[in-house]
A and B are shown apart, each in its own frame.
Chain A
Amino acid sequence: MGGIQGARSVMRLVVEKLAAERGGRAVFADLSFVVEAGTLLRVSGANGAGKTTLLRILAGLAAAADGNAAWHANDDLVRPAEAACFVGHANAFNDALSVKENLAYAAALSGHNASSQNISLILDAFGMKAMINRSFGTLSQGQRKRCSLARLLLLDSDSASNSNGRGGRAWLLDEPFVALDVDTQAQLATVISAKLVAGGLVIYTSHQAVDIHAANTQEILL
């Protein structure tokens, strides 16, 4: 439990001389940067520059070819599984199950307890409350995307993380604005801003320029 407790305190990401390969071909090398809590980091680069690969490495889903990326919480090292939450191109929802069942499963796997009340509260933030019992396969692409973004809030909604008011898990968002309508883009931008104000750390990739209100921003180009 100590690690999970740590994940709720101030986060810091240190990347040193990171290199990645995909299918035996180097995608990027010698990448070093530091991101502090409360910062919004945008990763940009052409198709195939390794943006998704970078996020997957930071999330602990892929291994780096060289160098390392480490999450710190108050100077303690935290495992990526406890430090970050990754939302990628795939929605990570099963078509046959309802939105609620899918979200409860995702929360339980990351070590959180999601009450139905919590789930409906969070879906409300993305205007999806009415869809809570719909099976995921019957939703439109945009609605699906909203559900997968709702997953982020669910992991932060744990009462313990609210009570200490810190930033919670870092968010790693791979092209979060794709397939969203203008209103939802604005909603997501608001949610990200709120996360940053609370001391969270957000890393995202995007081709579009989206207005996100943030005090500290960083950008790296792959």
Chain B
Amino acid sequence: MSLRGATTAVIRRELQLFAQRKSDWANPLMFFLIVCSLFPFAVGSESEKLKLIGIGVIFVGALLAAMLSLPKLFDEDARDGSLELMLASPEPLAALILARVAALSLALGIALSAVTPVFALFYALPFDVAAMLSLNVLMAVPTLLLVGSIAAALLVSARGGAILTAVLVLPLTIPTLIFGAGAALKVLYGESPAAELALQAAFMLLALALCPLAAAAALKISTD
């Protein structure tokens, strides 16, 4: 019962912070917009070429944008001391971290996947491809944030932690990238994306099961 109370409080606080500080969600969205809009200028307006690179560019852009939020996961709390509230809580730390990442994924995943179809217009992608891309962004953001929470926990309040986090996390997101972009490509070629979607979902569930435990262990080590 009090586990539910604690996780609800974590989620509520995360969403309150999101509502309070517009930059938390505006910065990733702006970054995503800029990445997606720069490529067509560099590549040219040939629509076949744009269609092919568009899927990859949008997907990578969404992952990079989501990465921007990773340092926020624990760094600010470590600075003002509220991380100690989580560490000193009688409830399992992994559950609290999961609640936190879930709240962040919910807010950020929905925001990024909502703008994805708009950005797909820059690349002349048909609507069904854009919708598939959007769905995959929605599934990839939680995976990325879950994997990223381990790195963020390890590097909490470390100097230059943001860059190191990116270096540690991005290679681990390659499978998500392959299957996410792969599913959209399949739709573009008129084939069934079922296999890619299943694998994408499998990665998300694997991350869901393992990452909070690893992040909790990492956080205990790095704050000791």
A104 vs B12: C-alpha distance when bound (angstroms): 10
The number of A-B residue pairs with CB atoms under 8 Å apart is: 92
With an 8 A cutoff between CB atoms, is B81 at the interface?
Answer: yes
Contact B90 A79 (CB under 8 A): yes
- How far in angstroms is the closest Cβ of chain B from A107? 8
* Interface residues of chain B: helix, strand, loop or mixed (majority): helix
The interface residues of chain B lying within 8 Å CB-to-CB of A89 are 81
Nearest residue (CB) in A for B86 is A109
The interface residues of chain B lying within 8 Å CB-to-CB of A79 are 90
A85 vs B88: C-alpha distance when bound (angstroms): 8
A92 vs B87: C-alpha distance when bound (angstroms): 12
Contact A4 B85 (CB under 8 A): no
Per-residue contact bits, chain B 1-28, to A (CB 8 Å; 1 contact, 0 not): 1100110111011001100110000000
With an 8 A cutoff between CB atoms, is A185 at the interface?
Answer: no
Nearest residue (CB) in B for A80 is B88
Given contacts A63-B224, A91-B80, A93-B80, contact A105 B85 (CB under 8 A): yes
The interface residues of chain A lying within 8 Å CB-to-CB of B9 are 104-105, 108-109
A60 vs B87: C-alpha distance when bound (angstroms): 9
Per-residue contact bits, chain B 74-87, to A (CB 8 Å; 1 contact, 0 not): 00110111101111
With an 8 A cutoff between CB atoms, is B45 at the interface?
Answer: no
Most buried by A among B1, B6, B79, B90: B90
- How far in angstroms is the closest Cβ of chain B from A42? 22
Size bracket of the A interface: 35 or more
Size bracket of the B interface: 20 to 34
Per-residue contact bits, chain A 54-73, to B (CB 8 Å; 1 contact, 0 not): 00000111110000000000
Contact B81 A92 (CB under 8 A): yes
Contact B20 A109 (CB under 8 A): no
Nearest residue (CB) in A for B221 is A63
A62 vs B221: C-alpha distance when bound (angstroms): 9
Contact A96 B223 (CB under 8 A): no
With an 8 A cutoff between CB atoms, is B89 at the interface?
Answer: yes
Contact A86 B88 (CB under 8 A): yes
Per-residue contact bits, chain A 173-192, to B (CB 8 Å; 1 contact, 0 not): 00000000000000000000
Per-residue contact bits, chain B 96-113, to A (CB 8 Å; 1 contact, 0 not): 100000000000000000
Binding site for A on B (CB under 8 A): 1-2, 5-6, 8-10, 12-13, 16-17, 20-21, 76-77, 79-82, 84-91, 96, 223-224
Assuming A105-B85, A113-B5, what are 8 further A-B pairs, CB within 8 angstroms?
A: A61-B88, A79-B90, A90-B81, A91-B80, A92-B82, A93-B81, A111-B2, A112-B2
7 pairs of A and B residues whose beta carbons are closest in the complex: A90-B81, A108-B9, A92-B81, A111-B2, A81-B90, A109-B89, A96-B20
